[in-house]
Amino acid sequence: MSRYLIGDLQGCLEPLERLLALLPLTPQDRIWFAGDLVNRGPDSLGVLRRVRGLGEQAVTVLGNHDLHLLCVAAGHARSHRSDTLQEILAAPDREELLAWLRALPLAHREDGFLLVHAGVLPGWSAATTRALAAEVEACLRGPEHDAFLQVMYGNLPAQWTDDLHGHERLRVITNALTRLRLCLPDGTMDFGHKGELEDAPPGLLPWFELEPRACEDHCVLFGHWSALGLMMREHLIAVDTGCLWGRSLTAVRLEDRAVFQVPCRPV
């Protein structure tokens, strides 16, 4: 069995179909999606239906745009001008798709790999990350999901402490796993910079360069930061290669790090 990691789709169905056709897939293989299935691309509804239709062949974690869809659908956020979510909201299978989305994990851990959408705070081991993700997942799948979606947005608290509780605790976990790019050396999260790594404000570091990192015994797989492009280090694979912006959609076979790419047109 092989596992293929695919970067952010953001509603780009046509490149996904071309990439899947390029992969030497067998029925036993699995496809891991790094989150942000929807938004800004031309066919978010088609992407949701396609990935959901893969069934157990797909492993998918939630990204910030996926959570934004849930907030908009629940009436707790307004659509942005660049959003392309209306087709989902008007679809006859809307409720089935939203329920499927709410049931997805925020982190997946398997055979020395840890899949998240954005990042992992330096003090979190892979086991801790998975346990904390499970807290948010239980909330999203349970009767309290609407109450959490009402207060999910926000940058504070910006730092993790073990004594956080309630919605503040869930917000920090969600922000780290779905929005994180840069931190101060003490692990305080910053959400202002989205561009090139070399243009990061002074004093801020990418989350994966803070030391020590408690999850260094796992290879962390993530998307979210298209300015990084494809980055492969010993314990790290970043796979958002800017499909939405007209660059490419990428898959990496985890067993041997073989790279498969298709070119994309800008949206």
pLDDT in tens, 142-197: 999 999 999 999 999 999 999 999 999 999 999 999 999 999 999 999 998 888 88
Q: What is the pLDDT of residues 39-87, one digit of tens each?
A: 999 999 999 999 999 999 999 999 999 999 999 999 999 888 899 999 9
Round to whole Å and give the CA distance between 222 and 215. Answer: 14
Give pLDDT tens digits for 222-249: 999 999 999 999 999 999 999 999 999 9
pLDDT at 167: 96
d(CA 65, CA 18): 23
Burial of residue 14 (CB within 10 Å: 0-12, 13-18, 19+) is middle
When pLDDT is averaged across residues 124-130 and rounded to a whole number, the result is 98
Q: Please give the structure tokens belonging to residue 168.
A: 């503040």
Whether 199 shows a pLDDT value over 90: the answer reads no
Whether omega for the bond prior to residue 157 falls within 30 degrees of 0, making it cis, is yes
Check residue 266 and give its pLDDT. 86
Structure confidence at residue 197 (pLDDT): 85
| DSSP, res 200 | P
5 neighbors 220 (Cβ within 8 angstroms): no
pLDDT at position 194 is: 86
Rounded CA separation 203/184 (Å): 6
Looking up tokens 């840069």, which residue turns up? 182
Closest alpha carbon to 262 in 29, 20, 36: 20
Note the pTM of the prediction, 2 decimals: 0.96
Say yes or no to pLDDT of 98 above 90: yes
pLDDT, one tens digit per residue, over 24-42 is: 999 999 999 999 999 999 9
What span, in angstroms and rounded, lies between the C-alpha atoms of 3 and 178? 22
User: Could you tell me the CA-to-CA distances from 103 to 11, 67, 92, 144 in Å, in that order?
Assistant: 19, 11, 19, 13
Output the DSSP codes for 56-92: GGEEE---HHHHHHHHHHTTSSPPPTT---HHHHT-T
Instruction: Pick left, alpha or beta for residue 136 (phi over 0 → left; psi -120 to 50 → alpha; otherwise beta).
Output: alpha
Predicted local confidence at residue 206, as pLDDT: 96
The answer to whether 218 touches 112, Cβ cutoff 8 Å, is yes
For residue 193, the model assigns a pLDDT of 86
Mean residue pLDDT across the chain: 96
Q: Per-residue pLDDT averaged across 132-146, rounded?
A: 96
Nearest to 162 by CA among 191, 128, 130: 128
Confidence of residue 200 (pLDDT cuts 50, 70, 90): confident
Domains of the chain plus CATH, in order, are 3-263 (3.60.21.10)
User: What number is the average pLDDT over the span 200-204?
Assistant: 91
Greatest alpha-carbon pair distance for the chain in Å reads 49
